[in-house]
Amino acid sequence: MRDTFVKTLVELAKENTDIELMTGDLGFGVLKPFWEQCPDQFTNAGIAEQNMTAAAAGMALNGKRVFTYSIGNFPTLRCLEQIRNDCAYHNANVKIVCVGGGFVYGSLGMSHHATEDIAIMRALPGITVVCPGDPVEAKLATKAIAEYPGTCYLRLGRGGETEIHKKEFEFQIGKAIKIREAERIGKKIAVFSTGAILDEVTKACNSLEEKEFSIIQYSFPTVKPIDWQAVEVCARKADVIVTIEEHNIMGGFGSAVAEVLAELGQKVKQIRLGIEDCYCTKVGSQKYLREQYGIGKERIEEAIENFR
């Protein structure tokens, strides 16, 4: 996903010299294609995220489209006020890019887990929150936000994510993507996810389908603005909506869906899967931590089966 992002950005930056990439001294190797091919549009701002983000705002206010790049919580929480005051308030054309949404940097520990970022960025007015689920979504999302004139947050996984979408499709900020809708007898289950957990979710849905479950699956690459319409359609059709995110269950994607459901007033039940409002104290790979914290494929499957 990370490499897809860089590759896409290189293509865009070659066509549009207003595109700038700034890094907080991270992306060794990864960003190489960019600085080799667009050296004039690349800046290493050093390990100083507050300055990087505010300087990006200054650049954007003078006509640039600036992508700030770092990992985990460094491009967001470390410089939150610069995002709020300097970028979002001025509607500055800054795209904040986080590599390592969720448990990507598993064994590195809690400091490197971005598990509250969606909630926090979503709470800031004027910020579009985009969390692509696979490399195809990442590519299309990168193109879309580059064209979008305002502050955006792009939350990426790392590398090696499975391509869930077999081909490119029309990508629109704020639109969810339907992955499947199987007509079977019995209770209808709508499964929504955002971000790279899509892989685990899809695997769980595959195996549930084999067990004759009636599944509607959507990927939500945009958390803000949330696709109200997709939620509404499913709220009418389904008996339960399950939301899954590699993120705290508080304030993030599940909460965004819950806000819509509460106002729709439908009878549909919602199950929110995510990290149960705790910090990660266990050590292990992304896969291991997903399982431990209730969002691995098996645990998703279990939660849905228990409902039936």
Partner 1 sequence: MNSEELAWKIRRHGIEMTHLSGGSHIGAVLSVADIIAVLYTDILNYDAKNPRWEERDRMILSKGHAGAALYAALAECGFFSVEELKTHYADGSRLSGHVSHCIPGVDLSTGSLGHGLSVAAGMAYTLKKDRRKERVFAVLGDGECDEGSVWEAALFANHFRLNNLIAIIDRNYMQSMDFQENTLEMKDFGAKWKGFGWNVIEIDGNNHRQLKRAFQKAEEYRNSETHKPTIIIANTVKGYGVSFMENNILWHYRFPHDGWEYDCAVNELHQSIPPGVEDIYTPKGIEKPIFPTEQDNINSDYTFTYTWNTTYPERMRRVEAVGDSNKRKYTQQRKEE
Residues that bind partner 1 (CB under 8 A): 40, 43, 45-46, 48, 50-51, 53-64, 81-82, 85-86, 89-90
- For 44, other C-beta atoms within 10 Å of its C-beta total 16
**Residue placing its CB nearer to partner 1 in the complex, 52 or 176:** 52
The minimum distance between CB 48 and partner 1, in angstroms, equals 4
**Residue placing its CB nearer to partner 1 in the complex, 65 or 299:** 65
The minimum distance between CB 89 and partner 1, in angstroms, equals 6
Please state, in angstroms and rounded to a whole number, the distance separating the CA atoms of residues 70 and 47.
10
**Residue placing its CB nearer to partner 1 in the complex, 39 or 265:** 39
The minimum distance between CB 85 and partner 1, in angstroms, equals 6
Buried b / exposed e over 183-205, threshold 16 CB at 10 Å, is: eeeeebbbbbbbbbbbbbbbbbb
Two structure tokens written together for 204: 């769980």
The minimum distance between CB 292 and partner 1, in angstroms, equals 36
**Is-contact 177 165, C-beta < 8 A?**
yes
C-alpha atoms less than 13 angstroms from C-alpha of 106 in its C-beta half-sphere:
12
Please state, in angstroms and rounded to a whole number, the distance separating the CA atoms of residues 127 and 130.
10
**Residue placing its CB nearer to partner 1 in the complex, 79 or 205:** 79
The minimum distance between CB 81 and partner 1, in angstroms, equals 6
**Residue placing its CB nearer to partner 1 in the complex, 91 or 285:** 91
Neighbouring residues of 155: CB distance < 8 A, sequence distance ≥ 6: 98, 101, 114, 117, 118, 129, 130, 131, 132, 195
**Residue placing its CB nearer to partner 1 in the complex, 126 or 294:** 126
Two structure tokens written together for 268: 């549909």
The minimum distance between CB 19 and partner 1, in angstroms, equals 13
